[in-house]
Amino acid sequence: MSFSAAKRKRNQQLTNLKNRSVLLGVSGGVAAYKAVELVRRLKDKGASVTVMMTGAAQQFITPLSLQIASQNTVYTSLFQEPLTHISIPAAADILVVAPATANSIAKFANGIADDMLSTAFLAFRGPVVIAPSMNGKMYEHPVVQENLKKLLSLGIVQTGPDSGPLACGEEGTGRLAEVRDIVDTVVAALTPKDLIGQKIVVTAGPTREYLDPVRFISNRSSGKMGFSVAKAARNRGAEVVLISGPTALESPQGLTFRRVDTSDQMLSALRDETERGVSALIMAAAVADFRSVRPSKAKVGKNKIPLLTCTEDIVSCIAGGEKRPFIIGFAAETGKKLDRAREKMKRKKMDMIVFNDVTEKGSGFETDTNRVVIMDKKNGVMRTGLMSKDDVADAILDRYLKIKA
């Protein structure tokens, strides 16, 4: 199968939300206004969105806003169009309820079906994601917790609530999860779980090699590529540890996040993880190649230019260790230097290497997209077009599964 055919197939297989139909239930909380943003972000990922609103939700936001955002009919009453409480859920791939109030959670948990959303909930067969939002004391109430426990035991996925200042003026746990996290949860819920049982460690971002307490050597890595790989592996059911140098990115939910600063710290975090057994290591981090021979404890004067040496090669250290995982490295090259990447794979004893030309527009550092060539020890070569880093991440994991099989 050509790569573009494989990519088309994977898109049909839900790597993102292309061709997916989301039924979004909005119940009556202050956070209902965030449903507009949620609809937009789901549509950005290619989903079609149909919204159902409870009566209380309409006190906070008008159906018109959600109709405009979704470019679809918004359902507000059981009697609006006969039998749509059955036909709309039947056509949906996933039901997302955001915000989910204490009242709607109680109805779902107890089979009460007295409006469009609660009736559609019972009629729907497929993955359900709920994003609770309410006052902190309400959320902590044993009755609400009992209802949630019942829903979770039925396989319903919960995202949030987050902690912080609440609309009522109190502080607590009850804020609607970030829209980004809700979308992430939806993508994860719709992704086939072909990495269950695997522990995958991913490195991301740059490292900092300190010259003195105020200066360091680093590089342009934003962490986006590594974070995409970690999230894709998590979505596909792997147990994921993401070891990241300093980045501006939020730590993703549903995985173990270890923040490091220097290459030494990255190496010791990796040794720690591999000691406990790892199926695959994916080294997307741009480890700084140079460090000071003798980092100074005090700020050095301009006349004392520090002597540099090379950092320890992390990937080679792990490849030479006793509990060696399957190793996928990256090669950041300036120009189409595939031979250099192949040589790196051999020298550093990797099983696969992902080449990217960091001088190419839309590729490499900081961008949301990348174009890569994935090579393996058995001389297999797979080229991707320019695509999102999320899609590149899935292409790498597809290749990994194929080569390991």
Q: Calculate the alpha carbon distances from 297 to 43, 211, 268, 294, 302 in Å.
A: 52, 9, 22, 9, 15
Contact with ligand PMT (CB under 6 A) among 7, 344, 371, 399 = 344
- Give 195 or 358: the residue with its C-beta nearer to ligand PMT: 358
**Which residue stretch of 149-157, 231-239, 284-292, 298-306 sits at the interface with ligand PMT (rule: CB under 6 A)?**
284-292
**Which residue stretch of 44-52, 81-89, 90-98, 277-285 sits at the interface with ligand PMT (rule: CB under 6 A)?**
277-285
* Torsion over CA: 14, 16, 21, 22 (sign): positive
96 neighbors 24 (Cβ within 8 angstroms): yes
Question: In the structure encoding, which two tokens stand for residue 42, read together?
Answer: 């789901």
62 Cα distance to chain centroid: 31
**Which residue stretch of 95-103, 163-171, 180-188, 282-290 sits at the interface with ligand PMT (rule: CB under 6 A)?**
282-290
| Beta carbon of residue 66, minimum distance to ligand PMT (angstroms, whole number) | 34
Q: Residues touching ligand PMT: how many (CB under 6 A)? A: 27
- Does residue 286 bind ligand PMT (CB under 6 A)? yes
| Beta carbon of residue 356, minimum distance to ligand PMT (angstroms, whole number) | 5
Reported for 290-293, long-range contacts at CB under 8 A and 24+ positions apart, including other chains, are: 290/209, 290/217, 291/209, 291/210, 291/217, 291/262, 291/263, 292/209, 292/210, 292/211, 292/212, 292/217
Contact with ligand PMT (CB under 6 A) among 6, 78, 200, 283 = 283
Say if residue 161 is preceded by a cis peptide, omega within 30 of 0: yes
348 neighbors 375 (Cβ within 8 angstroms): no
Contact with ligand PMT (CB under 6 A) among 232, 260, 285, 373 = 285
Q: Kindly give, in sequence order, each residue whose CB lies less than 8 Å from that of residue 95, ignoring residues fewer than 6 positions away.
A: 23, 25, 89, 120, 121, 124, 126, 127, 128, 129
Q: Kindly give, in sequence order, each residue whose CB lies less than 8 Å from that of residue 316, ignoring residues fewer than 6 positions away.
A: 347, 348, 349
- Please give the span between the terminal C-alpha atoms of the chain, in angstroms, as a whole number: 17
Q: Which of 90, 123, 138, 168 is catalytic?
A: 168
Contact with ligand PMT (CB under 6 A) among 127, 223, 245, 325 = 223
- Does residue 191 bind ligand PMT (CB under 6 A)? no
Residues 314-333 that bind ligand PMT (CB under 6 A): 314-315, 329-332
**Which residue stretch of 21-29, 126-134, 163-171, 215-223 sits at the interface with ligand PMT (rule: CB under 6 A)?**
215-223
261 neighbors 285 (Cβ within 8 angstroms): no
Contact with ligand PMT (CB under 6 A) among 222, 235, 262, 292 = 222
331 Cα distance to chain centroid: 23
Contact with ligand PMT (CB under 6 A) among 59, 366, 380, 381 = 366
**Which residue stretch of 98-106, 183-191, 249-257, 359-367 sits at the interface with ligand PMT (rule: CB under 6 A)?**
359-367
Q: Is 168 a catalytic residue?
A: yes
Q: Which of 312, 257, 266 is nearest to 285 (CA)?
A: 266
- Does residue 292 bind ligand PMT (CB under 6 A)? no
Contact with ligand PMT (CB under 6 A) among 131, 225, 382, 397 = 225
Q: Calculate the alpha carbon distances from 347 to 191, 284, 316 in Å.
A: 35, 17, 8
Please provide residue 160's backbone torsions phi and psi, each rounded to the nearest 5 degrees.
Answer: 75, -170
| Beta carbon of residue 278, minimum distance to ligand PMT (angstroms, whole number) | 15
- Does residue 124 bind ligand PMT (CB under 6 A)? no
Burial class (CB in 10 A: 0-12, 13-18, 19+), 117: buried
- Give 189 or 332: the residue with its C-beta nearer to ligand PMT: 332
| Beta carbon of residue 242, minimum distance to ligand PMT (angstroms, whole number) | 12
- Does residue 229 bind ligand PMT (CB under 6 A)? no
Strand 326-333 relative to strand 280-283: parallel, antiparallel, unpaired?
Answer: parallel
Q: What are the catalytic residues? A: 168
Residues at the site binding ligand PMT, with contacts judged by CB under 6 A: 221-225, 263, 283-287, 289, 311, 313-315, 329-332, 344, 348, 356, 358, 364-366
